[in-house]
């Protein structure tokens, strides 16, 4: 069993995020889903971005509190905005066992990088090829670079056909059930290898 902390996207801890977590739990893994927005559910990505900016450092405090009672050897996972949090923690927090990055990937080199990718840390990145944020704004390039740096034995990039952002959230119109089934199966296989 792997211990996973799964961070939500800019629309908050939706029923779709909870359902995805339940699918990982059904594979025998412990999945923690902190609500960094404290119950707020923005109606759009723009509203979610504004909320994130307004909360600022409060989000860091909430993240720290959410992790305080969890084991150190976590798999960090997240969707879009939450993938950025997961990636930062995987790269900087001692004891990380792996990372599952859904629909986002930050650079691991250059001026915008959080820092180098830790040697030997396994990672999977999932996103749609024409997602305006993942596929068309450079995240896919960052994910390819991450795979090159970490090596194919430790890093995997899965690109799905389509143009939807937040395609794994069953509570949103962007949901793609077929692609999500693949994401869940691949994520469970990744977690099984770490257990």
- Phi/psi for 81 (5° steps) reads -50, -45
Structure tokens at 178: 């077929």
123 closest CA partner among 95, 155, 87: 155
At 110 the pLDDT is 85
Read off the pLDDT of residues 113-145 as tens digits, 9 standing for 90 and up.
888 899 899 999 999 999 999 999 999 999 999
pLDDT at res. 195: 76
Phi, psi for residue 5 in degrees, rounded to 5: -110, 125
Q: What is the mean pLDDT of each run of 10 residues along the chain (195 residues)?
A: 96 98 97 96 95 93 94 96 96 95 94 86 98 95 95 95 98 98 98 91
Domain ranges of the chain: 3-194
DSSP string, 80-95: THHHHHHHHHHHHSTT
Q: CA–CA separation, 46 vs 59, rounded Å?
A: 17
CATH code for residues 3-194: 3.40.50.1820
What pLDDT score does 111 carry?
82
pLDDT computed for residue 127 by the predictor: 98
pTM, two decimal places:
0.96
């Amino acid at each position: 069993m792997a211990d996973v902390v799964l961070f939500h996207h800019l629309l908050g801890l939706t029923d779709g995020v909870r359902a995805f977590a339940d699918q990982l739990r059904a594979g025998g893994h412990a999945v923690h889903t902190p609500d960094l927005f404290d119950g707020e559910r923005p109606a759009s990505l723009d509203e979610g971005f504004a909320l994130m900016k307004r909360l600022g450092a409060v989000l860091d405090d909430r993240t720290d509190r959410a992790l305080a009672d969890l084991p150190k050897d976590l798999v960090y996972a997240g969707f879009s905005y939450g993938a950025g949090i997961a990636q930062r923690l995987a790269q900087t927090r001692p004891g990380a066992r792996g990372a599952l990055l859904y629909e986002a990937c930050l650079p691991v080199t250059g001026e915008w990088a959080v820092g180098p990718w830790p040697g030997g840390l396994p990672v999977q990145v999932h996103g749609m090829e024409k997602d305006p944020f993942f596929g068309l704004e450079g995240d896919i390039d960052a994910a390819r670079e991450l795979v090159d740096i970490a090596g194919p034995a430790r890093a995997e990039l899965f690109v799905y056909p389509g143009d939807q952002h937040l395609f794994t959230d069953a509570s949103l119109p962007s949901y793609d059930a077929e692609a999500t089934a693949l994401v869940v199966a691949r994520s469970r296989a990744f977690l099984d290898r770490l257990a």
